[in-house]
Structure 1
Amino acid sequence: MKRLILEISLKPFHDSSPAAMADVIRGILRQWDRLIRSAEKISFLLWTAEGSEILDYKGRMDDEIQWAKWIGIANDSPAHSWDPGRRTLHSSRWLYREDASVWTYARLRDLVASLKTIGQEVTGLPVTVGTIFDPGPEFAESSFKYERHPEINKGDIMGACQWVHCAATLRGDAGSYAGFPQGIPDGTTLGTFLGRQSDHFFRDLGIDYLWLSNGFGYSLDSWNVTGEVFDGDRFDLANVEGVNASILRFWEDFRRECPSVPIETRGSNLSTGMDLASDAAPVREIFRGGYGVTAPVNSPWAALNGDYGLEIVGWLSHIAELPEGSAVPFRYYIHDPWWLNSPWLDRYGREPHDIYLPLACSRLEADGTPRQPDSVALLTIDDSYGRMPDEVPGEITPHLLRALADFPDQPGLVTWVYPFDEYHDWTLGNPTRISEVFFGDWFIRGAVNAGFPLNTVVSTRNLVSSGTSPFAGTILVSPAPPEDSAWADTLVQHVESGGRLLLYGPLDHLDARIAKWLDARPAPAIAGEVHFTTTLRPDAGEQVPGKMLVRELTSGGGVGVALPARDDVEVLATVERDGETRSFALARRLPAGGTVAWVRGAFCADVKAITARLPEADDPAEWFPAERLMRWMLQVFGYEITYVKPAGKLIDPLLLAARRDNGWFFSGYWPSTSVRLGWRFPEGVPIPVGCDVLFTGDGSGQMHLPKAWHRECRVFVTQPESGEVSCREQYSGEIGISRRLLVTGLKDARVTFLPQVGTSPAFTLNDAYLGLGTPVPSEKSGPGIVAHHVTGDLLISW
């Protein structure tokens, strides 16, 4: 990695003596030595307070800082109906230790200098130090936000008027500040004030960069499905332009006062399309406005709510396009210094799924090649008591290094074509399509949570630049491309050259060439409660509900595609209401060899019934979740991924399918380990290294899997008989052989092997000693090598 970022609070530095400070710093560098040796430079991101130390700064080094010395909410919180006795951390606060020390600006300046000096001395690497600005009331007391200037708190996250909006303006203030020694003039924008204060603060204390936390700078309510232009009942189209302009003004004002300090951002917990549709967030303009900003990291929210589909879709949408010169940042949540939890130890239960899932994800550059994350940030290396237990770096470091080593070098099973520019145009230039923008990302989030194996994203701009050749081995997944667009031209060329395309969403603006392929003709739209049917193979043992809710407002309209008249267009799902039937999923294999398919989809959740700031999903036992159809549609392309659930209402697992060095690398999260995976690929049933697969007699295979897993797979088997087939790593035992895999349990099997690039494997059968068995004839087939009618144990050596 180019950069390792160690995020830390001030809690470990209780002893103010220089020697004690140096001991803590050296201890940190010892703990993280293995990761540090894999980096080109390191950074420390200080969670000193929550940014009020910048707002309050008067230029006096001896002033005391109200720092983040609390466990629980630092500022007064409104009473919660569910906690009348104020017993929880969201209602009250506790000092992390009764003798919490005093911090001044001078002491903070000395810590910054020591981190740089000792860090470079020990590691030999360049060291930078950053600090944060957070809009909320969580971390440190703030008289500036909640007593002197409550007018800047426009958002209702964590209570009414508790969340700072970047577009706020300040009332006049006669107090003296570093950037405003004569006081704050009435009507000063927060961007102007924070920018000027930051310029003084960073220069005086030697801090190198600023981290904008929790969506600050992008939207008002960065945790909510609703926002300034969407309240759950309507999209406020008249308000879009004003909200957009007010956020951009913050960036203009901030950079006018603080032109050179690098800015890194958390972004929201949601996605680009979600932020656009709910808050008119000008992500494109922020990225391309020359503001010196880095693209947002993956959200740590999934550790709290288990919504890994939202984390993956949000991150892919945020890195589909990048600001000029931006890194691709990855962040992992190991400790929480405020809320008395350490996710690696408790929320994740020491399971590495939130390492392997996002690090199986990649964006494609303009030439179609994947871009590896440039930085790894760890939030935080200390816990709520300021402790830094050795077992945490010892346990997570191998997983991080393995995930980075296995990072994809080509597109995965499916590649999301993300309309970054078009979504902005449809929201900010032509807001009548804002409902489609809202629907698109929420639908794909639901599909990923239902097991749709999405790990690769390419923006429409990079898709057009790279042409069709990088996508020959992947299924492109895209909203309907508009008529006569370069986006549509590229998708048409992709299919005409034998490629595979899966469209989703409304087809009102679909390019005529693709519409003709699918015989997709408009019909009066139906919506509301509809009768649903499908011919696709469902998950084993699961009853498919015969009805579904289609909400026009949040689904980009109703379902308005007539049944096709052509015999060569396959109808895979329909919806019906009041005797009117409409196409819901279609597919066609073109004579030239390409395949195009489409799923209409629906937003199968209620925005009004929010329980955790997210939509409340329709009960899948009563209503069919349309998002699940995306995984089932892979059957059209020869991929079967199904789940066998022994009981109802079990959560769907997540499965990602990445490619590296001509092999597959599967990563999964199994909320219930009693759910079995059933699968089959065009090459056969995958047999990952170190796994056992039960063939069921119908050509597919089933596996029991742990909570979190990450496996290489190069062997695929097709055989008619049932039984267990396994793949194990074997030792070399022979000069010139670097690896061996042993595949056991084969019965008249067709075995496809995907060799590492530049290798020539040998197949031998029933080896008594490594390499001395009977040679097995094989033949080249595309990227693989195939052996036929294999019975027994096959040793593959190279």
Structure 2
Amino acid sequence: MTGKREKQLKRATLEMSLKPFKSLEQTAVDEVCAEALRQWKPLLDIAESASMLLWISDGSEILTWNGRETDSFEWAKYIGFANEEYFSHIQDRDNPRIARLYTANPPDMTYGDLKRIVASFKRIADERFGIRLEVGATFDAGPEFAYSDFKYKAHPEINRAELGGRYVALKADYTVVCTWSKLKQDCSSYAAYPDGIPEGTPFGEFFGKQCASFLPALGFDYIWFSNGFALSYFPWTYLGANYDGTNIPLADHAELSANVLSFWDLFKRECPDYRVEIRGTNFGTGMDLAKDCIPMLQLYEKNYLEYPAPNSPWGALNFDFGLEMTGYMSRIAELPGETFPYRFYPNDPWFWQNPWFDLYDREAHDIYCPLSVARVNESGETESPGVIEILTIDTEKGELVEEGPAEIVPHIRRALKDRPDEPGLLTWLYPFRELHHAAASPNDRSGMIFFHDWFVRNAINEGLPLNTVVGTDVFFSMKEEAVGKLRDTILFVATGWLEGEQAEAVANYVRRGGQVLLYGAVRDANLLELLRLQSAPPLEGEFEYRLSGRADGLEQEDTRASKLRHYGLIGDGGLSERLAGGADAHTALVCEVRQGEEDRAFALSRSLPEWNGGRAGWVRGSLPFEPSGITHLPVRQAAEWSDASIAVRSVLEHFGYTIMQSKYDQSSASALLFVKRHDNAFFFVGCKKDTSVSFRLRFPDGEPVITGQTAVIGHGCAAYALDRTFHEECRVFAEQIGPSQVSCREMSAMPTRRKQSVRQLAVSGLADAVLTVYPPLAALEADLVELRAEHTDGEPIPFERKGNKIVARSVSGSVSITW
């Protein structure tokens, strides 16, 4: 790729199976390579480099590699579940989900053919497109992608996980490769073991040596560990070796984390020269720590990874985008290298779904929502992903469907163009290091760690606008100037890990004018004093739930849940907080719970005059999960029990943000809403599973007047329906007493008597309003912003600049805003 303009990305990665290569004639191979790259060139053009990640088989082609390029290997030439006996949902041989050939006569694939394909991609990329292309190999631990004699016949022992002197499992049928397993003796010849595998060879050593031979011999540049491989033996469920849905902890943390780390030590010892990239599990850092004691901190510190795992693609299948966003932010809070990836899931080369065309229904919410995420660095600046990965560019039939990239790439490019350049409304202070230390502490904190991430997942699914994260290592090393860049965001901080000097630092941040919203059990004396709370005996079980703050509107009011069921095991202990002392004009109790004669504070907001505008909010939080058997995701309690994460949005109102939703009844799925900042504008980003849900919005500057939208302003909150997927800019807010229908339209950038404009917004319908506008900072600094009555040649409307915004008073009718 050439060009003098700075590229938006460090790298763009395309992922593809071998299915498009229906002929292995060299001209046919070249044509497939060229077509794949041509279709996605608009994405490749904005990256400094590119890579092609090849989904060859399930990784067994590496395990069985013996150094002979003339040998054939089993490849992923199927649609459906291979090794079907390992899936309990497939009970008979006639089940249509059993793997079948994707085409009548798939080619026989040799290692030499694979080497030619790798070389062809690199050559075509260079000669025809001027692109520097890497090619990556893949390894998947599971049974579904391709039939594997090595995994399930020759060496089934690698699919068993020994822990604490016994084998652990959640299902009798479905198993994956256990990275700390040891191989039995095998007299067959392998590239790294020409005389056979000795008895008791650690899998990590064997796999590392095989990769050290396979990767350079066939021209690969790196390897990708798929679907939680090398991290968890239970990558597909929220349960694990340390939590079975009923009991936690179950495992010895030191043993389990050492087992995981032992694979990496052995693998990197035997294969030190090749980069490893990971897909990760479907869960967040804290979730993985709580269930499987995954030592991600050590993997970072040992420089075993250059990038964290990307966002999980699971949301396309289950619409659990709160889980995707939570996991994503938890992974990027601290980085092992310089940047982080984002991954999009348009096609599936193994199964029947091609999400862009079916599950997403050509809606781009899984582009705009994850790409609204930003991490904050030590300078207080926001960072967006520097790597974009596309899983995959071909379908289960081996098709390269041109409509896909033609429709998808413009959304990606727009999301990158409008990437966040300052923190959003809320910034999650993520204790990446502290959670690892808590997991390893003698006093087990697994329940606190479990609660830490899962509560946030629930809150996001219930509409919490959280899409910015800063790690504690970063935050506590920031200089004063960098901390000052967080003045317009609310720090969202769990209390479970917050104690001692760190708790004091957060309390002092509030007292110096900062805004913090805490969640979880409060035990530290500094925080108890800050929030005016005192400790009482912990309670769990069933409670009356009383929310005094504003709540979502329900058309069927009688469906509103008014009870809470709290399990201390996964809820950071029992409910033990009460207000200290009598009435206090500076403390607002937003929610409380009652059990018999006992009451507990559940949510509050507090701000003292001497805090110079600082405010502390708090929500105790609880998880509405039932103890259950083996499931992929937690089982929600019955509808009569509240999801207490909704209370976070009620507390936000005390910070000046009303973000409420109107629904048919309690069971209506909440819309996801995120607010990112770009070029001084606010962008409302999100999606709706239930399109009947609408919003009621108010910000500290008044009611938002979204560009291209109309709303009734003057009732206290502006009501908006918004689309199923939305990515809407807002630069205008209005505050007025009498209601009127107000709209904001994009107009032609007409010149004024002072300047040649580059943009014009027309706002109409105002009635004696206080109008607040957030123009681009460059235009504001250059004094290029004009407000005129009716049109660009109308009477000037006086305004006052206040920091990064301008404010005009007593404005009625129509206004032309130009810069």
Q: Same fold (TM over 0.5)?
A: yes
Q: Check conservation: 2:23, 2:29, Cα contact below 8 A.
A: yes
SS at match of 1:751: strand
Residues 250 and 784 (structure 1 numbering): CA distance in 2 closer, same or farther, change over 3 Å?
same
User: Which residues in structure 2 correspond to 1:30-69 (within 5 Å)?
Assistant: 30-69=38-77
Q: Check conservation: 1:367, 1:465, Cα contact below 8 A.
A: no
Residues 171 and 448 (structure 1 numbering): CA distance in 2 closer, same or farther, change over 3 Å?
same
Task: Quote the residue 1:418 is aligned against.
Answer: 430
Task: Quote the residue 2:660 is aligned against.
Answer: 642
1:73 aligns with 2:97: no
State how far apart, in whole Å, the 2-side matches of 1:158 and 1:8 are.
Answer: 31
Q: CA deviation at 1:569?
A: 2.4
Q: Check conservation: 2:452, 2:496, Cα contact below 8 A.
A: no
Task: Quote the residue 1:762 is aligned against.
Answer: 786
1:442 aligns with 2:454: yes
State how far apart, in whole Å, the 1-side matches of 2:773 and 2:702 are.
Answer: 10
1:214 aligns with 2:237: no
State how far apart, in whole Å, the 1-side matches of 2:293 and 2:526 are.
Answer: 32
| CA-to-aligned-CA distance 1:408-460 (integer Å, 9 cap, x gap) | 11111000001111101111124521110010100000000000000001111
1:126 aligns with 2:137: no
Q: Check conservation: 1:229, 1:237, Cα contact below 8 A.
A: yes
Residues 158 and 53 (structure 1 numbering): CA distance in 2 closer, same or farther, change over 3 Å?
farther
Q: Check conservation: 1:271, 1:441, Cα contact below 8 A.
A: yes
Moved more, 182-191 or 569-578: 569-578
> Which blocks of at least 5 consecutive residues in structure 1 are unaligned?
none
1:616 aligns with 2:650: no
Q: CA deviation at 1:95?
A: 0.5
Task: Quote the residue 1:694 is aligned against.
Answer: 712
SS at match of 1:445: helix
Q: Which amino acid aligns with 1:549?
A: R
State how far apart, in whole Å, the 2-side matches of 1:231 and 1:128 are.
Answer: 41
Match of 2:567 among 551, 557, 561: 551
1:569 aligns with 2:587: yes
Match of 1:138 among 131, 135, 144: 144
Q: Aligned-residue CA RMSD in angstroms? A: 1.7
Task: Quote the residue 2:672 is aligned against.
Answer: 654
Task: Quote the residue 1:747 is aligned against.
Answer: 767
User: Which residues in structure 2 correspond to 1:433-582 (within 5 Å)?
Assistant: 433-467=445-479, 468-480=483-495, 485-508=500-523, 510=524, 512-541=525-554, 542=557, 544-566=560-582, 567=584, 568-582=586-600
Task: Quote the residue 2:349 is aligned against.
Answer: 337
Q: CA deviation at 1:484?
A: 6.1
Q: Check conservation: 1:480, 1:503, Cα contact below 8 A.
A: yes
State how far apart, in whole Å, the 1-side matches of 2:748 and 2:21 are.
Answer: 48
Q: Which amino acid aligns with 1:534?
A: L
Q: CA deviation at 1:721?
A: 2.5
SS at match of 2:769: strand
1:111 aligns with 2:121: no
State how far apart, in whole Å, the 1-side matches of 2:427 and 2:502 are.
Answer: 14
User: Which residues in structure 2 correspond to 1:698-713 (within 5 Å)?
Assistant: 698-713=715-730
Q: CA deviation at 1:368?
A: 1.8
Q: Which amino acid aligns with 1:616?
A: V
SS at match of 1:129: strand
User: Which residues in structure 2 correspond to 1:58-207 (within 5 Å)?
Assistant: 58-78=66-86, 80=88, 84=92, 86-89=94-97, 92-154=98-160, 160-207=173-220
Q: Which amino acid aligns with 2:450?
A: F
Q: Check conservation: 1:116, 1:127, Cα contact below 8 A.
A: yes
Match of 1:726 among 739, 743, 751: 743
State how far apart, in whole Å, the 1-side matches of 2:180 and 2:675 are.
Answer: 41
Q: CA deviation at 1:237?
A: 5.5
Q: Check conservation: 1:641, 1:680, Cα contact below 8 A.
A: yes
Residues 191 and 485 (structure 1 numbering): CA distance in 2 closer, same or farther, change over 3 Å?
same
Q: Check conservation: 2:764, 2:815, Cα contact below 8 A.
A: yes
Task: Quote the residue 2:815 is aligned against.
Answer: 794
Moved more, 326-335 or 298-307: 326-335
Residues 7 and 238 (structure 1 numbering): CA distance in 2 closer, same or farther, change over 3 Å?
closer
Q: CA deviation at 1:238?
A: 5.2
Q: CA deviation at 1:776?
A: 0.9
Residues 154 and 646 (structure 1 numbering): CA distance in 2 closer, same or farther, change over 3 Å?
same
Q: CA deviation at 1:558?
A: 0.6
Q: Check conservation: 1:538, 1:642, Cα contact below 8 A.
A: yes
SS at match of 2:216: helix
Q: CA deviation at 1:51?
A: 0.5
Q: CA deviation at 1:722?
A: 2.5
State how far apart, in whole Å, the 2-side matches of 1:430 and 1:639 are.
Answer: 41
Q: Check conservation: 1:52, 1:144, Cα contact below 8 A.
A: yes
State how far apart, in whole Å, the 2-side matches of 1:275 and 1:249 are.
Answer: 18
> Which blocks of at least 5 consecutive residues in structure 2 are unaligned?
1-8, 162-168
Q: Check conservation: 1:295, 1:326, Cα contact below 8 A.
A: no
- After TM superposition, the score normalised by the length of structure 2 is 0.94
SS at match of 1:421: helix
Moved more, 1-10 or 488-497: 488-497
Q: CA deviation at 1:75?
A: 1.6
Q: Which amino acid aligns with 2:35?
A: G
Match of 1:21 among 24, 29, 44: 29
Q: CA deviation at 1:15?
A: 0.9
Task: Quote the residue 1:8 is aligned against.
Answer: 16
Task: Quote the residue 2:756 is aligned against.
Answer: 736
Match of 2:303 among 290, 301, 313: 290
Q: CA deviation at 1:547?
A: 0.8
Q: Which amino acid aligns with 1:205?
A: L
State how far apart, in whole Å, the 1-side matches of 2:431 and 2:526 are.
Answer: 19
Q: CA deviation at 1:754?
A: 0.3
Q: Check conservation: 1:607, 1:614, Cα contact below 8 A.
A: no
Residues 95 and 142 (structure 1 numbering): CA distance in 2 closer, same or farther, change over 3 Å?
same
SS at match of 1:775: coil
Q: CA deviation at 1:763?
A: 0.5
Residues 761 and 69 (structure 1 numbering): CA distance in 2 closer, same or farther, change over 3 Å?
same
SS at match of 1:58: coil
Q: Check conservation: 1:75, 1:138, Cα contact below 8 A.
A: yes
% identical equivalent positions: 40
State how far apart, in whole Å, the 2-side matches of 1:145 and 1:215 are.
Answer: 17
- After TM superposition, the score normalised by the length of structure 1 is 0.96
| CA-to-aligned-CA distance 1:76-100 (integer Å, 9 cap, x gap) | 33464686564342xx111000110
SS at match of 2:579: coil
Moved more, 232-241 or 170-179: 232-241
| CA-to-aligned-CA distance 1:626-653 (integer Å, 9 cap, x gap) | 1111122111101001111134411000
Task: Quote the residue 1:355 is aligned against.
Answer: 367
Moved more, 73-82 or 390-399: 73-82
Task: Quote the residue 2:5 is aligned against.
Answer: none
Q: Which amino acid aligns with 1:775?
A: P
Q: Which amino acid aligns with 2:772?
A: T
SS at match of 2:726: strand
State how far apart, in whole Å, the 2-side matches of 1:315 and 1:159 are.
Answer: 31
**Alignment length (residue pairs):** 787
SS at match of 1:163: coil
State how far apart, in whole Å, the 1-side matches of 2:181 and 2:534 are.
Answer: 48
Residues 238 and 388 (structure 1 numbering): CA distance in 2 closer, same or farther, change over 3 Å?
closer
Residues 326 and 179 (structure 1 numbering): CA distance in 2 closer, same or farther, change over 3 Å?
farther
Q: CA deviation at 1:32?
A: 1.2
Moved more, 727-736 or 292-301: 727-736
SS at match of 2:808: strand
Task: Quote the residue 1:242 is aligned against.
Answer: 255
Q: Which amino acid aligns with 2:515?
A: R
Q: CA deviation at 1:122?
A: 2.1
